[in-house]
Structure 1
């Protein structure tokens, strides 16, 4: 049976003592008492059966055995440090966590974010994609932008943007809406059926289906048909000429985007106020 390795702390104590040539300085560096460092080095010497230091009145000196061991211990500790370093990355002191649907991150936040970062250059932001209620329950975010009904959002949540849906298409698609492919976001209570009833259309049948508004908007921007999405998502791609209204009719949606924010951090308050203001401006720009 292979002989058990000495404890890692013995090697740490030896390396620190060898680098500082002082048990006292080594102890201060690695958070031990001078006595503890001395005892651990002695234990390592006993296990190896050789002296590693010469104890002198004015400090320590490495023996030949100590000089031979030090580079190998130093390399081994560096390897362990590199291997585990990615698991213990330093976290910024000011970190804001924002949980939102990928659609909102892509079409609303991303185009506006450079201006916010200019005003808050020292604030680190972590975005976590979440769409459905159970996904939000698994996060501990400072900001939540949920998609759902007002009841699902909760009494403290505020509507972000508007609750209206708009039909959009690529500007190069010039055919009447009834002759174009329709893109449907599934899993949402509002859709082309509701829109058609209010707009006076009959027999509108979507032929492309996706799981959320974000990819529906992307498909439309690429000329694949007409999507029906929230005005909040429409503002930036419309301003960039990626899409245009396919029809003037807008309908009220049963589900919308709602914002909730922690009340105990100034960073969350700043982001919340900013995205609320910008969302209002985006909707006003569509009028």
Structure 2
């Protein structure tokens, strides 16, 4: 059996940092925080067992290992971009395209989508998962829901839901908070370390690591431990009794979900109004 590959986003972070020789520039380019880029590159170095960068006082320099890896990663990403672009057939005039992270599509949009389609039966909806800024640019969606910091959000973007992280677990998972497994979503600035400082609790190291809040939430729903995720994603599973708060302590998130409407169509406006006034969106109808 072939060994599992490292996550694609690790390679994206490496390629951008190697090209710009700056974690900060790479973070701005791919829509992440500097600490998240640094963490993902460190994870790649640990996985490969070699240093990829020399971290100097005045910036970065590629090691011999990094110089050897860069052209191969660049070629692979170019191939993947070309392969997926071949399936982008364009957008028809009667189609509403919404691009968002898989976590938002799974936990926020999908559970309440029947309500939207019932209200707007003539709208043909296309949902496309996207994470990186260039993916959003290529898709040219009518509505975008991006994950990132307020600084990284578009000037016309609005916060979707809250900007709080909460601790959640399955109702069937019994035990004291301190003794239960912790699930950590990597690639973000916030985590259990930040939460423990606010809560004033000494916690054990996370037992499970995933690459998104949506995956962390799914693991918690299935009873695998306590997750720390955006309140936005938790609205529907909490309402359905799939998950419950494990603590009253919440913390402010450095990265949140931001919505922007890119086309002036009635369908786009209708989708925006529907999602921001839904329970997940965190607002009441005016």
TM interval, shorter chain, is: 0.5 to 0.7
Q: Deviations over 1:229-266 (max 9, x none)?
A: 00010010011111100111011101100001024211
Structure 2 equivalent of residue 255 of structure 1: 255
Structure 2 equivalent of residue 217 of structure 1: 217
Structure 2 equivalent of residue 185 of structure 1: 185
Could you say what secondary structure the match of 1:147 adopts?
A: strand
* Structure showing the higher helix proportion among its residues: 1
Whether the aligned pair in 2 keeps the contact of 1:181 and 1:225 (CA below 8 Å) is yes
- In structure 2, the CA distance between the partners of 1:171 and 1:266, relative to structure 1 (3 Å rule), is same
Could you say what secondary structure the match of 2:134 adopts?
A: helix
Paired positions, count: 198
Shift in Å at residue 171 of structure 1? 0.4
Whole-angstrom CA distance in 2 between matches of 1:249 and 1:168: 11
Q: Which has the higher contact order (CA 8 A, sep 6+)?
A: 2
Structure 2 equivalent of residue 104 of structure 1: 104
Shift in Å at residue 154 of structure 1? 1.9
Q: Which runs of 5+ in 2 are unaligned?
A: 1-86
Could you say what secondary structure the match of 1:274 adopts?
A: helix
Q: Which runs of 5+ in 1 are unaligned?
A: 1-86
Whether the aligned pair in 2 keeps the contact of 1:235 and 1:283 (CA below 8 Å) is no
Structure 2 equivalent of residue 240 of structure 1: 240
Map 1:125-204; keep pairs closer than 5 Å. Answer: 125-204=125-204
- In structure 2, the CA distance between the partners of 1:202 and 1:120, relative to structure 1 (3 Å rule), is same
- In structure 2, the CA distance between the partners of 1:280 and 1:90, relative to structure 1 (3 Å rule), is closer
Whole-angstrom CA distance in 1 between matches of 2:258 and 2:90: 32
- In structure 2, the CA distance between the partners of 1:90 and 1:215, relative to structure 1 (3 Å rule), is closer
Whether the aligned pair in 2 keeps the contact of 1:100 and 1:127 (CA below 8 Å) is yes
Could you say what secondary structure the match of 1:198 adopts?
A: helix
Please report the TM-score for the alignment, with normalisation by the length of structure 2: 0.65
Shift in Å at residue 220 of structure 1? 0.3
Shift in Å at residue 93 of structure 1? 4.7
Map 1:22-171; keep pairs closer than 5 Å. Answer: 93-171=93-171
Whole-angstrom CA distance in 2 between matches of 1:283 and 1:164: 15
- In structure 2, the CA distance between the partners of 1:274 and 1:283, relative to structure 1 (3 Å rule), is closer
Whole-angstrom CA distance in 2 between matches of 1:94 and 1:133: 25
Q: Is the deviation greater in 124-133 or in 154-163?
A: 124-133
Q: Deviations over 1:89-146 (max 9, x none)?
A: 9986520000000000000001111011011111100010012333323321000000
Whether the aligned pair in 1 keeps the contact of 2:277 and 2:283 (CA below 8 Å) is no
Whether the aligned pair in 2 keeps the contact of 1:161 and 1:282 (CA below 8 Å) is yes
Q: Deviations over 1:190-249 (max 9, x none)?
A: 000000100011143111011001110000000000000000100100111111001110
- In structure 2, the CA distance between the partners of 1:244 and 1:164, relative to structure 1 (3 Å rule), is same
Could you say what secondary structure the match of 2:264 adopts?
A: coil
Name the Cα RMSD after superposition: 2.2
